[in-house]
Structure 1
């Protein structure tokens, strides 16, 4: 495992960390505590020391599992959670300082932790980024010892750029992968100037970039890759990075030509992200421990050559850029 600094938090965290959206099993399959513990322990056993969760993941069961495992381990494990998505309807007016403080306190109870290493606003409406009173409340929570740091999880580059204008925003979680390259143009440079940590989510475009999906691959009715392809439930860009599924499959076939004989493209996709030194860590998910091992096999994969990187970027420019680059 390799480690990088998470911006001005000062935390030295694993480049490949763990996202826990589906840690208790596949999306929609119900939560399995034993499986969740197995996945999280496997990650920690292999050097992962940063775990990202959220209060809405399986209605708090993900947070409970993360807290349970972390408290049982002797290693220093950094725990990040998120709040705000419980607000319904999910509009700016619902974001009130007292409401958010209540969510943080409930997360502390579920995890059993005395302090959260990082709490992140969970993809709030754009208007929230223009309300200083929201960001100020987290300073009070820090003074109270309930959180160590504030971050944001964003949908759009514009939101990220606005968020880091607040001095107490220490991290930004953002979608960045071979199919979503816009953040590296301006945002990465601005984040570096402010020493803001960058947490990359959806690094494999909801699994598309593993190269294992086909036109007839079936997803369960409760899986967002089935019901949210056009943004019916939440931002379209969260599912397959906003790419049309069939276009994604076609594009991945070209990607396979760059890596002949490689069955699992995930390590190549993760290597592509890690070439950006501004990135603090990547948080791929896992619904079984084998996914954790697959993600960590990035270290067994040969370094990408300049020619391979150029070819990968050409695929994006030729097929993907015109579809998504301007949207997020």
Structure 2
């Protein structure tokens, strides 16, 4: 398992992180808690040292399950979780999270999204000063969120979506992220599982608790077609799954790619088969060309800069 610098925090994190969102709820299908505990144990054996979850209701008992696992091994893990704007407020929510996780401090505490209330920023800074959290960040969704973090907040890192199919907002602000030196966690690298290559054009998700249940047949078909355009990467990386994770890891600004994991079998795949996967220079060139072709919105990514960051120019 290769490790990477976590921004300017001094932490070194596994390049593949354990996304624990699914281990306590049903948002990604039914869960066997015992299998989830085995998954965490296997991930640790394979070198994973970063786990990310949240306190939002949709994630159910994820923090409780994680706390049970960490009971005898807290020092081996970098624990990241989030404040999801519960009615009781940030400080009270954090205290409950610390209890569920069985720890005195959270390593990386994130706002689940950027709030409009500036006083919440002050409360977050205060929790860091008090030692309740070691480092702070935000889960973000748009390029404008990155601008706000860099221009107005004093955070240690961000978490954002980035995949072969959805390269923004990362590519739109890769220069600013590099200059600021923020830790960058990547989520949704597999595009809700479609970039594993295991779903067909006519895939359905009948479980109402599965967040893909609401996807229209048109959206599923369109996503399938987009995935097919990247099948050429299988020859380079060995599988579409490995290629999908190798792509964000091609950028040195990325600290770790979070992969949702809830079974021991998934842990074997995510933390044994994927780490170390890399893409060739010709493949990276072709990816950027395809992404430009798929960008109907004309977001004017800094193509020359992106190629320079990747060492392609």
The question of a shared fold, defined as TM-score above 0.5 by the shorter chain, is answered with yes
Q: SS at the partner of 1:169?
A: coil
Q: How far off is 1:258 after superposition?
A: 4.2
Aligned partners of 1:250, 1:28: CA distance in 2, in Å? Answer: 23
C-alpha change, 1:249 and 1:52, in structure 2 (3 Å) is: same
Aligned partners of 2:136, 2:275: CA distance in 1, in Å? Answer: 30
Are 1:115 and 1:148, in contact at CA under 8 Å, matched by a contact in 2?
yes
Aligned partners of 1:66, 1:136: CA distance in 2, in Å? Answer: 28
C-alpha change, 1:324 and 1:217, in structure 2 (3 Å) is: farther
Aligned partners of 1:19, 1:288: CA distance in 2, in Å? Answer: 12
1:249 aligns with 2:224: yes
Q: SS at the partner of 1:22?
A: coil
Q: How far off is 1:260 after superposition?
A: 4.9
Q: SS at the partner of 2:261?
A: coil
Are 1:80 and 1:116, in contact at CA under 8 Å, matched by a contact in 2?
yes
Aligned partners of 1:115, 1:48: CA distance in 2, in Å? Answer: 20
Q: How far off is 1:36 after superposition?
A: 2.0
Q: SS at the partner of 2:94?
A: helix
Aligned partners of 1:59, 1:304: CA distance in 2, in Å? Answer: 33
What CA deviation, in whole Å up to 9, does each residue of 1:72-109 have, x standing for no partner?
2275200000012545xxxxxxxxxx711111111111
Are 1:212 and 1:264, in contact at CA under 8 Å, matched by a contact in 2?
no
What CA deviation, in whole Å up to 9, does each residue of 1:108-153 have, x standing for no partner?
111111111111000245xx2xx43211112221222211111100
Hey, what does 1:299 align to over in structure 2? 275
Q: SS at the partner of 2:21?
A: coil
TM-score by length of 2: 0.86
What CA deviation, in whole Å up to 9, does each residue of 1:166-189 have, x standing for no partner?
453101000011111123434222
* Superposed counterparts of 1:1-328, under 5 Å: 1-24=1-24, 27=27, 29-56=29-56, 58=58, 60-73=60-73, 76-86=76-86, 99-125=89-115, 128=116, 131-166=117-152, 168-219=154-205, 220-227=207-214, 229=215, 244-260=219-235, 264-296=239-271, 297-299=273-275, 301=277, 303-319=278-294, 321-322=295-296
What CA deviation, in whole Å up to 9, does each residue of 1:31-53 have, x standing for no partner?
43212211111111111101001
Q: SS at the partner of 1:117?
A: strand
Are 1:123 and 1:153, in contact at CA under 8 Å, matched by a contact in 2?
yes
Q: SS at the partner of 1:9?
A: coil
Q: SS at the partner of 1:183?
A: coil
C-alpha change, 1:116 and 1:299, in structure 2 (3 Å) is: closer
Are 1:67 and 1:112, in contact at CA under 8 Å, matched by a contact in 2?
yes
Comparing 24-33 and 206-215, the one that deviates more:
24-33
Query: Structure 1, unaligned stretches of length 5 or more?
Result: 88-97, 231-242
Query: Structure 2, unaligned stretches of length 5 or more?
Result: 301-313
Hey, what does 2:310 align to over in structure 1? none
Are 2:23 and 2:33, in contact at CA under 8 Å, matched by a contact in 1?
no
Q: How far off is 1:68 after superposition?
A: 1.8
What CA deviation, in whole Å up to 9, does each residue of 1:245-304 have, x standing for no partner?
212211222222343598841101111111100001110101322222222322364x32
Count of residues in Structure 1 that have an aligned counterpart in Structure 2 = 297
Are 2:74 and 2:103, in contact at CA under 8 Å, matched by a contact in 1?
no
Are 2:186 and 2:254, in contact at CA under 8 Å, matched by a contact in 1?
yes
Q: CA RMSD in A?
A: 2.5
Aligned partners of 1:300, 1:169: CA distance in 2, in Å? Answer: 29
Q: SS at the partner of 2:157?
A: strand
What CA deviation, in whole Å up to 9, does each residue of 1:287-327 have, x standing for no partner?
322222222322364x32221122223332223x216969x
Aligned partners of 1:68, 1:324: CA distance in 2, in Å? Answer: 47
TM-score by length of 1: 0.82
